[in-house]
Structure 1
Protein backbone atom coordinates (compact mmCIF):
# COMPACT_ATOMS: atom_id res chain seq x y z
CA UNK A 1 0.00 0.00 0.00
CA UNK A 2 1.39 3.41 -0.97
CA UNK A 3 1.66 6.21 1.58
CA UNK A 4 -1.14 8.05 -0.20
CA UNK A 5 -3.45 5.01 -0.20
CA UNK A 6 -3.15 4.44 3.55
CA UNK A 7 -4.72 7.84 4.22
CA UNK A 8 -7.69 7.34 1.88
CA UNK A 9 -11.15 6.90 3.40
CA UNK A 10 -12.59 3.82 1.69
CA UNK A 11 -16.14 3.80 3.10
CA UNK A 12 -18.58 6.70 2.88
CA UNK A 13 -18.88 8.43 6.27
CA UNK A 14 -22.45 9.32 7.17
CA UNK A 15 -22.90 13.08 6.94
CA UNK A 16 -26.21 14.94 6.81
CA UNK A 17 -25.80 18.33 5.08
CA UNK A 18 -27.53 21.22 6.84
CA UNK A 19 -27.04 23.87 4.14
CA UNK A 20 -24.82 24.48 1.13
CA UNK A 21 -21.57 23.61 2.96
CA UNK A 22 -20.73 20.74 0.58
CA UNK A 23 -20.92 22.98 -2.50
CA UNK A 24 -18.92 25.74 -0.80
CA UNK A 25 -16.21 23.36 0.35
CA UNK A 26 -15.93 21.79 -3.12
CA UNK A 27 -15.41 25.26 -4.61
CA UNK A 28 -12.74 26.04 -2.00
CA UNK A 29 -10.98 22.75 -2.72
CA UNK A 30 -11.13 23.34 -6.47
CA UNK A 31 -9.18 26.56 -5.88
CA UNK A 32 -7.06 24.91 -3.13
CA UNK A 33 -8.12 27.59 -0.67
CA UNK A 34 -7.50 26.93 3.04
CA UNK A 35 -10.73 26.39 4.99
CA UNK A 36 -11.61 27.11 8.62
CA UNK A 37 -14.57 25.24 10.12
CA UNK A 38 -16.09 27.25 12.97
CA UNK A 39 -18.56 25.84 15.44
CA UNK A 40 -19.20 24.21 18.82
CA UNK A 41 -17.71 20.91 19.87
CA UNK A 42 -19.40 17.74 18.62
CA UNK A 43 -21.52 19.40 15.93
CA UNK A 44 -20.08 17.48 12.96
CA UNK A 45 -17.00 19.43 11.81
CA UNK A 46 -14.66 16.44 11.83
CA UNK A 47 -17.24 14.17 10.21
CA UNK A 48 -17.74 16.80 7.50
CA UNK A 49 -14.01 16.82 6.65
CA UNK A 50 -13.97 13.02 6.51
CA UNK A 51 -17.02 13.05 4.24
CA UNK A 52 -15.48 15.65 1.90
CA UNK A 53 -12.17 13.74 1.72
CA UNK A 54 -14.15 10.62 0.78
CA UNK A 55 -16.28 12.52 -1.76
CA UNK A 56 -13.23 14.14 -3.38
CA UNK A 57 -11.27 10.86 -3.16
CA UNK A 58 -8.31 12.58 -1.51
CA UNK A 59 -6.15 11.32 1.36
CA UNK A 60 -6.85 12.87 4.76
CA UNK A 61 -4.33 13.36 7.58
CA UNK A 62 -5.86 14.60 10.84
CA UNK A 63 -4.04 16.14 13.81
CA UNK A 64 -5.69 16.66 17.21
CA UNK A 65 -4.08 19.89 18.39
CA UNK A 66 -3.11 20.47 22.02
CA UNK A 67 -1.25 23.08 24.04
CA UNK A 68 1.90 20.94 24.28
CA UNK A 69 2.17 20.52 20.52
CA UNK A 70 5.35 22.01 19.08
CA UNK A 71 6.16 23.08 15.54
CA UNK A 72 8.32 19.93 15.28
CA UNK A 73 5.27 17.79 16.03
CA UNK A 74 3.69 19.21 12.88
CA UNK A 75 6.72 19.61 10.63
CA UNK A 76 9.13 16.83 11.66
CA UNK A 77 12.33 16.20 13.57
CA UNK A 78 15.63 14.33 13.54
CA UNK A 79 15.48 11.02 15.40
CA UNK A 80 18.54 9.48 17.06
CA UNK A 81 19.32 5.96 15.92
CA UNK A 82 22.25 3.61 16.51
CA UNK A 83 23.77 4.55 13.13
CA UNK A 84 23.26 8.29 13.55
CA UNK A 85 20.24 10.49 12.96
CA UNK A 86 17.24 10.12 10.67
CA UNK A 87 14.76 12.78 9.67
CA UNK A 88 11.07 11.96 10.17
CA UNK A 89 8.43 14.08 8.48
CA UNK A 90 5.57 15.36 10.65
CA UNK A 91 1.91 15.12 9.49
CA UNK A 92 1.90 18.59 7.91
CA UNK A 93 4.98 17.76 5.86
CA UNK A 94 3.63 14.35 4.81
CA UNK A 95 0.38 16.02 3.71
CA UNK A 96 2.30 18.62 1.70
CA UNK A 97 4.38 15.97 -0.06
CA UNK A 98 1.60 13.50 -0.98
CA UNK A 99 -1.21 15.98 -1.73
CA UNK A 100 -3.44 15.18 1.24
CA UNK A 101 -6.03 17.29 2.99
CA UNK A 102 -4.39 18.15 6.32
CA UNK A 103 -6.96 18.72 9.07
CA UNK A 104 -5.81 20.49 12.24
CA UNK A 105 -8.59 19.85 14.75
CA UNK A 106 -9.19 22.51 17.45
CA UNK A 107 -6.21 24.50 16.24
CA UNK A 108 -6.85 27.19 18.88
CA UNK A 109 -5.51 24.73 21.46
CA UNK A 110 -2.04 24.92 19.89
CA UNK A 111 0.40 27.64 20.93
CA UNK A 112 0.55 30.64 18.62
CA UNK A 113 4.25 30.06 17.90
CA UNK A 114 3.27 26.60 16.63
CA UNK A 115 0.45 27.78 14.35
CA UNK A 116 2.80 30.27 12.64
CA UNK A 117 4.42 27.35 10.75
CA UNK A 118 1.25 26.95 8.65
CA UNK A 119 1.40 30.52 7.29
CA UNK A 120 3.63 29.90 4.24
CA UNK A 121 1.30 27.06 3.18
CA UNK A 122 -1.78 29.28 3.28
CA UNK A 123 -0.87 31.94 0.73
CA UNK A 124 0.37 32.04 -2.85
CA UNK A 125 3.71 30.49 -1.86
CA UNK A 126 2.26 27.10 -0.76
CA UNK A 127 5.61 26.13 0.70
CA UNK A 128 6.77 24.60 3.99
CA UNK A 129 10.30 25.49 5.15
CA UNK A 130 12.00 22.67 7.07
CA UNK A 131 14.52 24.93 8.79
CA UNK A 132 16.22 22.18 10.79
CA UNK A 133 16.72 20.13 7.64
CA UNK A 134 17.48 23.00 5.30
CA UNK A 135 14.74 21.98 2.87
CA UNK A 136 11.89 23.92 1.29
CA UNK A 137 8.91 21.67 0.58
CA UNK A 138 6.70 22.88 -2.27
CA UNK A 139 3.18 21.66 -1.59
CA UNK A 140 1.74 19.02 -3.92
CA UNK A 141 -0.94 20.48 -6.23
CA UNK A 142 -3.67 18.52 -4.37
CA UNK A 143 -2.64 19.68 -0.88
CA UNK A 144 -5.20 21.63 1.15
CA UNK A 145 -5.14 22.84 4.75
CA UNK A 146 -8.31 22.70 6.87
CA UNK A 147 -8.56 23.81 10.50
CA UNK A 148 -11.40 23.65 13.01
CA UNK A 149 -12.05 26.30 15.57
CA UNK A 150 -14.53 26.65 18.42
CA UNK A 151 -15.42 30.35 18.83
CA UNK A 152 -17.14 29.55 22.13
CA UNK A 153 -13.73 28.95 23.71
CA UNK A 154 -12.09 32.12 22.56
CA UNK A 155 -10.46 34.30 25.19
CA UNK A 156 -7.57 36.74 25.26
CA UNK A 157 -5.24 33.84 25.99
CA UNK A 158 -6.79 31.35 23.56
CA UNK A 159 -7.74 32.82 20.25
CA UNK A 160 -6.33 32.68 16.76
CA UNK A 161 -4.25 35.65 15.68
CA UNK A 162 -5.80 37.81 12.96
CA UNK A 163 -2.75 37.05 10.83
CA UNK A 164 -3.79 33.38 10.98
CA UNK A 165 -7.57 33.87 10.63
CA UNK A 166 -7.22 36.05 7.57
CA UNK A 167 -5.46 33.30 5.64
CA UNK A 168 -8.57 31.09 5.60
CA UNK A 169 -11.99 30.96 4.07
CA UNK A 170 -14.53 29.90 6.69
CA UNK A 171 -17.68 27.84 7.09
CA UNK A 172 -19.96 28.23 10.11
CA UNK A 173 -21.29 25.07 11.73
CA UNK A 174 -24.12 24.95 14.25
CA UNK A 175 -26.06 22.11 15.78
CA UNK A 176 -28.63 20.90 13.22
CA UNK A 177 -32.32 21.74 13.42
CA UNK A 178 -34.52 19.31 15.35
CA UNK A 179 -35.67 17.18 12.40
CA UNK A 180 -32.20 16.90 10.87
CA UNK A 181 -30.59 16.07 14.22
CA UNK A 182 -33.27 13.45 14.93
CA UNK A 183 -32.46 11.85 11.58
CA UNK A 184 -28.72 11.90 12.38
CA UNK A 185 -29.15 10.32 15.84
CA UNK A 186 -31.45 7.63 14.47
CA UNK A 187 -29.21 6.83 11.49
CA UNK A 188 -25.99 6.78 13.54
CA UNK A 189 -27.34 4.59 16.35
CA UNK A 190 -30.18 2.56 14.87
CA UNK A 191 -32.53 3.93 17.54
CA UNK A 192 -36.12 4.50 16.43
CA UNK A 193 -37.13 8.01 15.37
CA UNK A 194 -39.55 8.56 18.28
CA UNK A 195 -36.91 8.01 20.97
CA UNK A 196 -34.24 9.82 18.95
CA UNK A 197 -36.52 12.85 18.83
CA UNK A 198 -36.81 12.82 22.63
CA UNK A 199 -33.02 12.84 22.99
CA UNK A 200 -32.84 15.79 20.59
CA UNK A 201 -35.46 17.67 22.62
CA UNK A 202 -33.32 17.23 25.74
CA UNK A 203 -30.29 18.46 23.78
CA UNK A 204 -32.11 21.57 22.63
CA UNK A 205 -33.22 22.40 26.18
CA UNK A 206 -29.64 22.07 27.40
CA UNK A 207 -28.37 24.37 24.66
CA UNK A 208 -30.69 27.07 25.96
CA UNK A 209 -28.60 26.98 29.15
CA UNK A 210 -25.40 27.89 27.32
CA UNK A 211 -24.14 31.07 28.95
CA UNK A 212 -26.51 30.51 31.88
CA UNK A 213 -24.44 27.92 33.71
CA UNK A 214 -23.30 25.71 30.83
CA UNK A 215 -20.14 26.54 28.88
CA UNK A 216 -21.19 24.32 25.99
CA UNK A 217 -24.49 22.78 24.96
CA UNK A 218 -24.93 19.02 24.67
CA UNK A 219 -23.30 17.97 21.42
CA UNK A 220 -24.84 15.84 18.69
CA UNK A 221 -22.08 13.35 19.50
CA UNK A 222 -23.39 12.94 23.06
CA UNK A 223 -26.95 12.46 21.78
CA UNK A 224 -25.65 9.57 19.66
CA UNK A 225 -23.85 8.13 22.71
CA UNK A 226 -27.13 8.18 24.66
CA UNK A 227 -28.89 6.47 21.75
CA UNK A 228 -26.14 3.82 21.63
CA UNK A 229 -26.64 3.11 25.35
CA UNK A 230 -30.42 2.75 24.86
CA UNK A 231 -29.71 0.33 22.00
CA UNK A 232 -27.50 -1.62 24.42
CA UNK A 233 -30.46 -2.09 26.76
CA UNK A 234 -30.02 0.82 29.19
CA UNK A 235 -33.21 2.59 30.29
CA UNK A 236 -33.58 5.91 28.40
CA UNK A 237 -33.49 8.05 31.57
CA UNK A 238 -30.29 6.40 32.83
CA UNK A 239 -28.72 6.50 29.36
CA UNK A 240 -29.50 10.20 29.06
CA UNK A 241 -28.01 11.01 32.45
CA UNK A 242 -24.87 8.99 31.71
CA UNK A 243 -24.26 10.42 28.24
CA UNK A 244 -25.88 13.85 28.29
CA UNK A 245 -25.92 15.23 31.85
CA UNK A 246 -22.88 14.03 33.79
CA UNK A 247 -20.29 14.76 31.06
CA UNK A 248 -21.27 18.42 30.59
CA UNK A 249 -21.56 19.78 34.15
CA UNK A 250 -20.67 19.19 37.80
CA UNK A 251 -22.89 22.02 39.01
CA UNK A 252 -25.66 20.47 41.16
CA UNK A 253 -28.30 23.03 40.14
CA UNK A 254 -27.63 22.64 36.41
CA UNK A 255 -27.59 18.85 36.81
CA UNK A 256 -30.94 18.99 38.59
CA UNK A 257 -32.40 21.13 35.79
CA UNK A 258 -31.15 18.74 33.12
CA UNK A 259 -32.25 15.66 35.07
CA UNK A 260 -35.73 17.14 35.40
CA UNK A 261 -35.87 17.70 31.63
CA UNK A 262 -34.77 14.10 31.03
CA UNK A 263 -37.37 12.68 33.43
CA UNK A 264 -40.14 14.89 32.02
CA UNK A 265 -39.43 13.96 28.40
CA UNK A 266 -38.89 10.24 29.01
CA UNK A 267 -41.24 9.96 32.03
Structure 2
Protein backbone atom coordinates (compact mmCIF):
# COMPACT_ATOMS: atom_id res chain seq x y z
CA UNK A 1 0.00 0.00 0.00
CA UNK A 2 1.07 3.61 -0.47
CA UNK A 3 1.22 5.79 2.59
CA UNK A 4 -0.01 9.36 2.33
CA UNK A 5 2.11 11.92 4.15
CA UNK A 6 1.41 15.60 4.40
CA UNK A 7 4.19 18.15 4.12
CA UNK A 8 3.30 21.48 5.69
CA UNK A 9 4.94 24.66 4.42
CA UNK A 10 6.36 26.47 7.43
CA UNK A 11 6.71 30.05 6.16
CA UNK A 12 3.30 30.80 4.66
CA UNK A 13 1.09 31.56 7.64
CA UNK A 14 1.74 31.37 11.36
CA UNK A 15 -0.40 28.62 12.91
CA UNK A 16 -2.55 29.81 15.81
CA UNK A 17 -1.43 28.20 19.06
CA UNK A 18 -1.71 29.37 22.66
CA UNK A 19 0.89 27.91 25.00
CA UNK A 20 -0.37 26.57 28.31
CA UNK A 21 2.87 25.72 30.09
CA UNK A 22 6.53 25.37 29.17
CA UNK A 23 5.94 23.13 26.14
CA UNK A 24 7.41 25.64 23.68
CA UNK A 25 10.62 26.05 25.69
CA UNK A 26 11.03 22.28 26.09
CA UNK A 27 10.48 21.65 22.38
CA UNK A 28 12.94 24.39 21.41
CA UNK A 29 15.58 22.95 23.74
CA UNK A 30 15.05 19.46 22.31
CA UNK A 31 15.22 20.81 18.76
CA UNK A 32 18.48 22.57 19.55
CA UNK A 33 20.01 19.19 20.41
CA UNK A 34 18.18 17.23 17.74
CA UNK A 35 16.44 15.21 20.44
CA UNK A 36 13.26 13.29 19.59
CA UNK A 37 10.03 14.39 21.25
CA UNK A 38 7.05 12.38 22.48
CA UNK A 39 3.76 14.28 22.80
CA UNK A 40 1.21 12.79 25.20
CA UNK A 41 -2.35 13.97 25.46
CA UNK A 42 -6.03 13.32 24.72
CA UNK A 43 -7.49 13.35 21.24
CA UNK A 44 -8.14 16.83 19.88
CA UNK A 45 -6.18 18.76 22.52
CA UNK A 46 -3.85 20.45 20.03
CA UNK A 47 -0.85 18.12 19.64
CA UNK A 48 -0.75 18.43 15.86
CA UNK A 49 -1.25 22.19 15.93
CA UNK A 50 1.59 22.47 18.44
CA UNK A 51 3.97 20.59 16.12
CA UNK A 52 2.88 22.75 13.17
CA UNK A 53 3.57 25.88 15.21
CA UNK A 54 7.01 24.72 16.28
CA UNK A 55 7.95 23.72 12.74
CA UNK A 56 6.93 27.19 11.56
CA UNK A 57 8.89 28.95 14.31
CA UNK A 58 11.97 26.83 13.64
CA UNK A 59 11.69 27.32 9.87
CA UNK A 60 11.59 23.60 9.16
CA UNK A 61 9.49 21.54 6.79
CA UNK A 62 7.02 19.29 8.59
CA UNK A 63 6.18 15.84 7.23
CA UNK A 64 3.24 14.21 9.01
CA UNK A 65 2.11 10.59 8.91
CA UNK A 66 -0.86 9.10 10.78
CA UNK A 67 -0.09 5.76 12.37
CA UNK A 68 -2.41 2.81 11.61
CA UNK A 69 -2.38 -0.94 12.04
CA UNK A 70 -1.64 -1.70 8.36
CA UNK A 71 1.46 0.48 8.28
CA UNK A 72 4.66 -1.32 7.34
CA UNK A 73 8.27 -0.22 7.62
CA UNK A 74 8.33 0.13 3.82
CA UNK A 75 5.53 2.69 4.10
CA UNK A 76 7.86 4.82 6.19
CA UNK A 77 11.24 4.07 4.59
CA UNK A 78 10.38 3.50 0.92
CA UNK A 79 10.08 0.81 -1.70
CA UNK A 80 10.89 -0.13 -5.27
CA UNK A 81 8.09 0.71 -7.70
CA UNK A 82 7.53 0.08 -11.38
CA UNK A 83 7.52 3.37 -13.29
CA UNK A 84 7.61 3.62 -17.07
CA UNK A 85 8.72 0.04 -17.44
CA UNK A 86 11.58 0.49 -15.00
CA UNK A 87 11.95 -0.41 -11.35
CA UNK A 88 12.89 2.68 -9.35
CA UNK A 89 13.36 3.39 -5.68
CA UNK A 90 10.90 5.84 -4.11
CA UNK A 91 11.72 7.32 -0.72
CA UNK A 92 9.09 7.01 1.98
CA UNK A 93 8.15 10.05 4.11
CA UNK A 94 10.59 9.17 6.89
CA UNK A 95 13.48 8.85 4.46
CA UNK A 96 12.58 12.17 2.83
CA UNK A 97 12.60 13.86 6.24
CA UNK A 98 15.99 12.32 7.09
CA UNK A 99 17.51 13.48 3.81
CA UNK A 100 15.99 16.99 3.94
CA UNK A 101 16.48 17.77 7.62
CA UNK A 102 12.74 18.10 8.19
CA UNK A 103 10.62 17.43 11.24
CA UNK A 104 8.96 14.02 10.93
CA UNK A 105 5.76 13.68 12.93
CA UNK A 106 4.28 10.21 13.44
CA UNK A 107 0.82 10.81 14.89
CA UNK A 108 -0.80 8.13 17.08
CA UNK A 109 2.30 5.98 17.04
CA UNK A 110 0.68 3.15 19.07
CA UNK A 111 -1.74 2.48 16.21
CA UNK A 112 1.18 1.25 14.11
CA UNK A 113 2.53 -2.27 14.55
CA UNK A 114 5.46 -2.54 16.94
CA UNK A 115 7.56 -4.38 14.36
CA UNK A 116 7.13 -1.31 12.16
CA UNK A 117 7.93 1.40 14.68
CA UNK A 118 11.28 -0.17 15.61
CA UNK A 119 12.58 1.37 12.39
CA UNK A 120 12.66 4.72 14.19
CA UNK A 121 14.90 3.50 17.02
CA UNK A 122 18.27 4.28 15.38
CA UNK A 123 16.96 7.78 14.64
CA UNK A 124 15.86 8.30 18.23
CA UNK A 125 19.22 7.81 19.92
CA UNK A 126 22.78 9.07 19.51
CA UNK A 127 23.16 7.39 16.13
CA UNK A 128 20.59 9.52 14.28
CA UNK A 129 20.71 7.00 11.44
CA UNK A 130 18.16 5.29 9.24
CA UNK A 131 19.07 1.85 7.88
CA UNK A 132 17.61 1.37 4.40
CA UNK A 133 18.02 -2.37 4.05
CA UNK A 134 16.60 -2.60 0.52
CA UNK A 135 19.27 -0.20 -0.72
CA UNK A 136 21.98 -1.74 1.43
CA UNK A 137 22.82 1.60 2.98
CA UNK A 138 22.42 3.63 6.15
CA UNK A 139 21.49 7.31 6.01
CA UNK A 140 22.72 9.84 8.54
CA UNK A 141 20.08 12.40 9.45
CA UNK A 142 20.66 15.79 7.85
CA UNK A 143 21.04 18.80 10.16
CA UNK A 144 17.63 19.97 11.32
CA UNK A 145 16.02 16.54 11.30
CA UNK A 146 13.84 15.89 14.32
CA UNK A 147 11.59 12.97 15.15
CA UNK A 148 8.28 13.67 16.89
CA UNK A 149 5.68 11.06 17.84
CA UNK A 150 2.37 11.32 19.69
CA UNK A 151 -0.18 9.15 21.39
CA UNK A 152 -3.16 9.29 23.71
CA UNK A 153 -2.29 7.50 26.99
CA UNK A 154 -5.93 7.33 28.05
CA UNK A 155 -6.96 5.48 24.90
CA UNK A 156 -4.30 2.79 24.74
CA UNK A 157 -4.92 -0.86 25.54
CA UNK A 158 -2.67 -3.68 26.63
CA UNK A 159 -2.20 -4.63 22.99
CA UNK A 160 -1.59 -1.02 21.94
CA UNK A 161 0.91 0.51 24.30
CA UNK A 162 4.21 2.24 23.74
CA UNK A 163 7.18 -0.05 24.33
CA UNK A 164 9.61 1.05 27.03
CA UNK A 165 12.46 0.62 24.56
CA UNK A 166 10.76 3.25 22.40
CA UNK A 167 9.49 5.56 25.16
CA UNK A 168 12.87 6.00 26.84
CA UNK A 169 14.46 7.41 23.70
CA UNK A 170 12.23 10.51 23.76
CA UNK A 171 11.84 13.77 25.62
CA UNK A 172 8.20 13.71 26.74
CA UNK A 173 5.82 16.68 26.67
CA UNK A 174 2.37 16.23 28.15
CA UNK A 175 -0.40 18.33 26.62
CA UNK A 176 -3.95 18.55 27.88
CA UNK A 177 -7.04 20.63 27.37
CA UNK A 178 -6.19 24.26 28.11
CA UNK A 179 -7.69 26.40 30.87
CA UNK A 180 -11.08 27.97 30.15
CA UNK A 181 -9.78 31.39 29.14
CA UNK A 182 -7.21 30.03 26.72
CA UNK A 183 -9.55 27.44 25.24
CA UNK A 184 -12.18 30.16 24.78
CA UNK A 185 -9.68 32.24 22.79
CA UNK A 186 -8.78 29.21 20.68
CA UNK A 187 -12.39 28.28 19.90
CA UNK A 188 -13.32 31.89 19.11
CA UNK A 189 -10.35 32.32 16.78
CA UNK A 190 -10.56 28.97 15.00
CA UNK A 191 -14.34 28.84 14.63
CA UNK A 192 -14.85 32.53 13.96
CA UNK A 193 -17.45 33.06 16.68
CA UNK A 194 -17.83 35.70 19.37
CA UNK A 195 -16.21 35.15 22.79
CA UNK A 196 -19.57 34.60 24.48
CA UNK A 197 -20.46 31.70 22.16
CA UNK A 198 -16.94 30.29 22.46
CA UNK A 199 -17.09 30.39 26.24
CA UNK A 200 -20.47 28.63 26.28
CA UNK A 201 -19.00 25.85 24.16
CA UNK A 202 -15.94 25.58 26.40
CA UNK A 203 -18.07 25.39 29.53
CA UNK A 204 -20.05 22.58 27.93
CA UNK A 205 -16.85 20.80 26.99
CA UNK A 206 -15.58 21.01 30.54
CA UNK A 207 -18.89 19.74 31.90
CA UNK A 208 -18.67 16.68 29.64
CA UNK A 209 -15.03 16.08 30.60
CA UNK A 210 -15.88 16.05 34.31
CA UNK A 211 -18.94 13.80 34.19
CA UNK A 212 -18.79 11.32 37.06
CA UNK A 213 -18.94 7.71 35.91
CA UNK A 214 -18.88 8.82 32.30
CA UNK A 215 -19.52 6.00 29.78
CA UNK A 216 -17.68 7.97 27.09
CA UNK A 217 -14.43 6.55 25.82
CA UNK A 218 -13.43 9.98 24.50
CA UNK A 219 -14.54 13.31 25.93
CA UNK A 220 -15.42 16.53 24.13
CA UNK A 221 -12.17 17.73 22.60
CA UNK A 222 -11.22 21.27 21.69
CA UNK A 223 -11.50 20.09 18.08
CA UNK A 224 -15.16 19.15 18.56
CA UNK A 225 -15.92 22.50 20.17
CA UNK A 226 -14.34 24.27 17.20
CA UNK A 227 -16.46 22.20 14.82
CA UNK A 228 -19.60 23.20 16.70
CA UNK A 229 -18.50 26.81 16.66
CA UNK A 230 -17.94 26.62 12.93
CA UNK A 231 -21.54 25.51 12.42
CA UNK A 232 -22.72 28.43 14.53
CA UNK A 233 -20.61 30.78 12.41
CA UNK A 234 -22.46 29.44 9.36
CA UNK A 235 -25.80 30.40 10.88
CA UNK A 236 -26.91 27.31 12.80
CA UNK A 237 -28.37 27.73 16.27
CA UNK A 238 -26.00 26.90 19.11
CA UNK A 239 -27.98 23.90 20.36
CA UNK A 240 -28.43 22.47 16.88
CA UNK A 241 -24.72 22.85 16.23
CA UNK A 242 -23.83 21.18 19.53
CA UNK A 243 -26.22 18.31 18.89
CA UNK A 244 -24.59 17.54 15.54
CA UNK A 245 -20.94 18.32 16.23
CA UNK A 246 -20.64 17.22 19.87
CA UNK A 247 -23.46 15.03 21.18
CA UNK A 248 -23.97 12.81 18.13
CA UNK A 249 -20.23 12.70 17.49
CA UNK A 250 -19.45 11.37 20.97
CA UNK A 251 -21.83 8.41 21.11
CA UNK A 252 -24.31 6.24 19.20
CA UNK A 253 -25.88 4.91 22.39
CA UNK A 254 -29.36 6.37 22.75
CA UNK A 255 -29.17 6.53 26.55
CA UNK A 256 -25.82 8.32 26.44
CA UNK A 257 -27.08 10.72 23.77
CA UNK A 258 -30.11 11.46 25.92
CA UNK A 259 -27.95 12.10 28.98
CA UNK A 260 -25.67 14.39 27.01
CA UNK A 261 -28.73 16.25 25.73
CA UNK A 262 -29.84 16.85 29.30
CA UNK A 263 -26.39 18.15 30.15
CA UNK A 264 -26.55 20.49 27.16
CA UNK A 265 -29.89 21.82 28.43
CA UNK A 266 -28.38 22.44 31.85
CA UNK A 267 -25.18 24.14 30.67
CA UNK A 268 -25.94 26.11 27.53
CA UNK A 269 -27.77 29.43 27.77
CA UNK A 270 -31.36 29.36 26.60
CA UNK A 271 -32.17 31.63 23.66
> Which stretch shifts more, 8-17 or 223-232?
8-17
Partner deviation per Cα, 1:103-122 (whole Å, 9 max, x = no partner):
00111100000000000001
CA separation of 1:111 and 1:238: change in aligned 2, threshold 3 A: same
Distance 2:212 2:146 in 1: 34
Q: Of residues 197, 206, 209 in structure 2, which corresponds to 1:207?
A: 209
Is 1:187 aligned with 2:178?
no
Distance 1:138 1:251 in 2: 51
Gaps of at least 5 residues in structure 2 are 1-6
Alignment correspondent of 2:9? 8
Alignment correspondent of 2:78? 76
CA-CA distance at 1:225 after TM superposition? 0.5
Q: Is the 8 A contact 1:236 1:266 kept in 2?
A: no
Q: 5 Å matches for 1:77-156?
A: 77-156=79-158
SS of residue matched to 1:206: helix
Count of equivalent residues: 262
Alignment correspondent of 2:253? 251
CA-CA distance at 1:135 after TM superposition? 1.5
Alignment correspondent of 1:241? 243
RMSD: 1.2
Distance 2:248 2:206 in 1: 16
Partner deviation per Cα, 1:7-31 (whole Å, 9 max, x = no partner):
5322100001111111111001001
Partner deviation per Cα, 1:49-104 (whole Å, 9 max, x = no partner):
00000001111100011111100000000002343210000000000000000000
SS of residue matched to 2:134: coil
CA-CA distance at 1:211 after TM superposition? 5.8
Q: Is the 8 A contact 1:210 1:217 kept in 2?
A: no
Q: Of residues 16, 22, 34 in structure 1, which corresponds to 2:24?
A: 22
Q: Is the 8 A contact 1:107 1:149 kept in 2?
A: yes
> Which stretch shifts more, 203-212 or 144-153?
203-212
Alignment correspondent of 2:228? 226
User: Given the two structures, how large is their TM-score scaled by the length of structure 2?
Assistant: 0.94
Q: Of residues 248, 254, 269 in structure 2, which corresponds to 1:266?
A: 269
Alignment correspondent of 2:45? 43
User: Given the two structures, how large is their TM-score scaled by the length of structure 1?
Assistant: 0.95
SS of residue matched to 2:257: helix
SS of residue matched to 2:208: helix
Q: Is the 8 A contact 1:209 1:217 kept in 2?
A: no
